[in-house]
Amino acid sequence: MIDLHTHTVLSDGELLPFELVRRAVAAGYKAIGITDHVDASNMDLVIPRIVKAAKKLRGLVPIEIIPGAEITHAPPELIKDMVKGARELGACLVIVHGETLAEPVLEGTNRAAIEAGADILAHPGLISIEDILYANEKSVALEITSRKGHSISNGHVAQTAVKFGAQMVINTDSHSPEDLITRAGAERILMGAGIGKERISLVFETSKNIIEKALRRI
């Protein structure tokens, strides 16, 4: 399993980074992105601590650990600068909290995240065709999620992305131990979203490509 969207006690998750990684290893993960929620109030506190934890574990565990951040509920006008700021603080993987149907995210967030060059647009809700095409142009991956609530629009995201050739990843948005899933579980979620078996390998290939790009930033 490759999971590029998880949370720890550094935002609203239940586990310390070390325990999250240990549980991910036990679940058979090959790579994990630690992407705690950030905004202007905590970026400078959270991201360096994720980077520190990842550095301490590097070489000691059989898993790639990607330090990152999820920019959450930021006004669209601020997202570009926040993506840049997160990278400057050491985030090798930047996610933007998209226009999920489960929360009152501001309209225009999806577009701003794509324009800013985020690596992944998380749970983008009823993303428009125009934004799907723009995400494809900017190589921003769209997230299929196992997270309750956010997953409501998985079918729309998957089917529209397939139709217009956009890249997809599957993540858990884990906040607690039971949120971690296996590769087999991820495949079932992808099929449930309407993605055929022949395309599932492409989803994981996109995740691998994001990891390779992120590792070059370390």
One-letter amino acid at 153 equals S
For 181, the domain range is 2-215
pLDDT number for residue 218: 87
3-state secondary structure of 9: coil
pLDDT number for residue 172: 98
In the predicted model, is pLDDT for residue 27 greater than 90?
Answer: yes
Task: Kindly report the CATH number assigned to the domain that includes residue 156.
Answer: 3.20.20.140
Q: How is residue 153 annotated by DSSP?
A: G
Q: Which of 149, 147, 168 is nearest to 158 (CA)?
A: 168
Alpha helical stretches, state H, 139-196: 154-164, 183-192
At 80-127, the pLDDT tens digits run 999 999 999 999 999 999 999 999 999 999 999 999 999 999 999 999
Q: Structurally, how many domains does the chain consist of?
A: 1
Q: How far apart are CA 89 and CA 58, in angstroms?
A: 18
Does the predicted model carry a pTM greater than 0.85? yes
